[in-house]
Amino acid sequence: MKINFKNNFIASVIISYLLFVQISLHGQQKNQTSYSNNLAKNAMSVSTESKIEALIKTLTLKEKVALCHAQSKFSTKGVERLGIPEIWMSDGPHGVRAEINWDNWKYAGWTNDSITAFPALTCLAASFNPELSSQYGFSLGEEARYRKKDVLLGPGVNIYRTPLNGRNFEYMGEDPFLASTLVVPYIKGVQKNGVAACVKHYVLNNQEHWRSKINVEVGDRALYEIYLPAFKASVKEAGVWAIMGAYNKFRGKYTTHNPILHKILKSDWKYDGVVISDWSSAHSTEESALYGLDLEMGTGTDGLGTSTNDFYSQYYLAAPFLKGLKNGDFPESLVDDKVRRILRLMFRTNMSANRPLGNANTKAHHDVARRVATDGIVLLKNEKNFFPIKDDKNVTIAVIGENATRSMTAGGGSSELKAKFEISPLEGIKARYKNATITHAMGYQTGPSRYNQVIPPTLDLDSLKTEAIKTARNADIVLFIGGLNKSHLQDCEGDDRLQFGLPFGQVDLLNDIYKVNKNIGFILVTGNAVEMPWLDKVNALVETWYLGSMSGHAIADVISGDVNPSGKLPFSFPVKLEDNAAHFFGTSSYPGENMTQYYKEDILVGYRWHDTKKIKPLYAFGYGLSYTSFTISDIKTDKKTYTTEDSITVSCRLNNTGLLDGSEVVQVYVGKQKSKVKRALKELKGFQKVSVNSGKQYSVDINIPVKSLSFYDEAISDWNLEKGDYIVYVGNASNNISKKTKITIN
């Protein structure tokens, strides 16, 4: 029976009552057997969208507005009289953050909020492994569900534009196709647990320096081709339930409530989820109301404010919004749309009848964390077969560096974690090497990790250096474990790095160690590229990222050869900072002048810049070595000529020609010859990670829709597919192509 709610008040009240009973039971997590059979049947016969519409008609205007803003640092109000629950959120992208106080940023001091710390998203990106991304997301979602969270504030998919960005470690690299491919299974994995993933930061939040003030000027082509694809994939392919706005401005308007971005997200992409502000990223009642913000979080310094007892009621989408609605400044349909999206989020999460239970710190989660870590570790240099290192009782291994013992789950800003345990690199090496003699010297020291603070070291640096040189002199092998950490002005939210090189005197220390022992392997712990004038001083180099709880075990797995490394760089390592496209154009491009910056490199981000401008990188996007060797042969496309509706199938044979089993990533790039518009030489359009036993081969097929070769045509404000000749490049790194094949699009 179709009910006309406008003309049938009694029917409306009956349906609302049925919804009230059903939702109350869900909100209080009562057993559904407490329903009478008829009541349950009647209530559940109404579709979810119909339930939402009925609830909207039942809510008062004040209750609607109350749903649109925070009530604490990480929660929003429910409606008690209708059984509508609160929404509880938590950072972050690679673990569920410890509990925060109601009204300030201090930790609540709970004893039951320790979790599994998963590797940072740079490591996940380096795995080039969508299947692992799914396992990662699902495991993280289980932990969030166990902690009774409804929204997990991650993943981050902002594009790696400059190696100085303090928050790059939270993101998925410089290539939009790679980020799009890996973010989709992550989101689906999280949301299988009845927990919303919240993709961030929409959009162009590509630096921390001046992040709350900087105005980004970038062309439409770069916006659509580089910076939006991972967000679009999150919406169109993954069906993400929440998206977080960014701090910065775009063309003079804050991105959290930006008319252009609002149209793209909610009109063009038909996004039906919730837009949540980053904490304090809302700046206007009118623009928040009109241009796409649904849930306002974090405005002001704390919930109590300095002069108001309940500062939350003064949020832009709180009392000022309610006043505007009552005065007729805004139509009620505006708040109804926001509430509709918020209720939809609830029916998907905390009002879902089929929400699974979660769990935390399980062996399964630890195993996933370890697999992601070993799959993402990248072997960059390995002269004289330095790695793998055997466990020999006649060998002394000197482990040098503060990063061998420093916690990398603490610090970094909002993504810092309270891990139940964290295996340090030194602990992992000692656990794996039972026979060899392991010694350790700190060598250098930084201050403790503090967000937005630089804490000076407390130990005597000269003594640390002297001890490290002595320890290295008496060893057969030196493992220098250095890089960055997650303190302010390093890999940390709130500001960017101040230097491209290694900090804290590490280069001087390494040079002095080289004078007494030249058998050095460098274990680099970073979320960013670094300058390497010292590269000729080391026989081997491995990029290990921030690996979370299982860090030390994963590093030991790889350097011992228990796991053959297969990670690939998700961003380019330039030789010098000026070789990076954002820095090539000076301060107007990065960090900006007069709080405005121009993305002068346009679409030529990362390897696109290095390839097209013929600027050789130190290490290229997609690069990574193995302990075995591979060749790619029999490379061909299924046809030579295609139409716009076709899919290109690139096939090849991957041959493991070495002595060890291992995995390799076959990468397919495509470039347009004689294009009528500026193009990168080539762009990643497909990849596949394959495990092949020693002496065996594997047939690989990679499908590329012809439409994915389109460019965003600013002349028509839409995608345009050029006809003509294209080059298909197949290899195992952006700068290591095995074969080029010409195809034609008719």
Q: What is the pLDDT of residues 591-610, one digit of tens each?
A: 999 999 999 999 999 999 99
Cβ–Cβ under 8 Å, residues 632 and 682: no
DSSP label at residue 311? G
Alpha-carbon distance 575 to 489, whole Å?
Answer: 21
DSSP-assigned states of every residue in 403-425: GGTS-SSS-SSTT---BS----H
Q: What is the pLDDT of residues 287-344, one digit of tens each?
A: 999 999 999 999 985 555 555 667 899 999 999 999 999 999 999 999 999 999 999 9
| Of 596, 522, 610, nearest in space to 559 by CA | 522
Helices (H) and strands (E) in the chain, counts: 20, 26
Average pLDDT score over residue span 553-570: 98
Reduced to 3 states (helix: H, G, I; strand: E, B; else coil), residue 695 is coil
Average pLDDT score over residue span 734-745: 98
Whether residue 45 is predicted with pLDDT greater than 70 in this model: the reply is: no
Average pLDDT score over residue span 373-399: 98
Cβ–Cβ under 8 Å, residues 688 and 667: no
Confidence class for position 39, pLDDT limits 50, 70, 90: very low
Sign of CA dihedral 365, 370, 373, 375: negative
Domains of the chain: residue spans and CATH: 1-51 (no CATH), 59-348 (3.20.20.300), 377-571 (3.40.50.1700), 629-745 (2.60.40.10)
What percent of the chain is helix, strand and coil (3-state, nearest 5)? 35, 20, 45
Cβ–Cβ under 8 Å, residues 490 and 452: no
Average pLDDT score over residue span 562-578: 98
Question: Could you tell me the pTM of the whole model?
Answer: 0.93
Say whether 278 is catalytic. yes
Planar angle of CA 379, 119, 226, nearest 5 degrees? 80
| Of 345, 86, 356, nearest in space to 196 by CA | 345
Whether residue 3 is predicted with pLDDT greater than 50 in this model: the reply is: no
Summary mean pLDDT of the chain: 93
Max Cα-Cα span within the chain: 90
Q: What is the pLDDT of residues 658-704, one digit of tens each?
A: 999 999 999 999 999 899 999 999 999 999 999 999 999 999 999 99
Whether residue 495 is predicted with pLDDT greater than 50 in this model: the reply is: yes
Question: Catalytic: which of 91, 150, 278, 611?
Answer: 278
Token pair recorded at residue 698: 């594997």
Whether residue 8 is predicted with pLDDT greater than 50 in this model: the reply is: no
Alpha-carbon distance 681 to 670, whole Å?
Answer: 8
Q: What pLDDT is attached to residue 92?
A: 87
Cβ–Cβ under 8 Å, residues 368 and 135: yes
Q: What pLDDT is attached to residue 2?
A: 36
Percentage of the chain lying above the pLDDT 90 cut: 90
Average pLDDT score over residue span 169-188: 98
Q: What pLDDT is attached to residue 450?
A: 79
Average pLDDT score over residue span 441-456: 86
Question: Bridge-partner residues for 476, per DSSP?
Answer: none
Q: What pLDDT is attached to residue 631?
A: 98
Average pLDDT score over residue span 534-560: 98
Q: What pLDDT is attached to residue 12?
A: 42
Confidence class for position 454, pLDDT limits 50, 70, 90: confident
Whether residue 15 is predicted with pLDDT greater than 50 in this model: the reply is: no
Q: What pLDDT is attached to residue 309?
A: 67
Q: What pLDDT is attached to residue 337?
A: 98
Reduced to 3 states (helix: H, G, I; strand: E, B; else coil), residue 38 is helix
DSSP-assigned states of every residue in 193-239: TT-EEEEEEETT---STTTTT-EEE--HHHIIIIISHHHHHHHHTT-
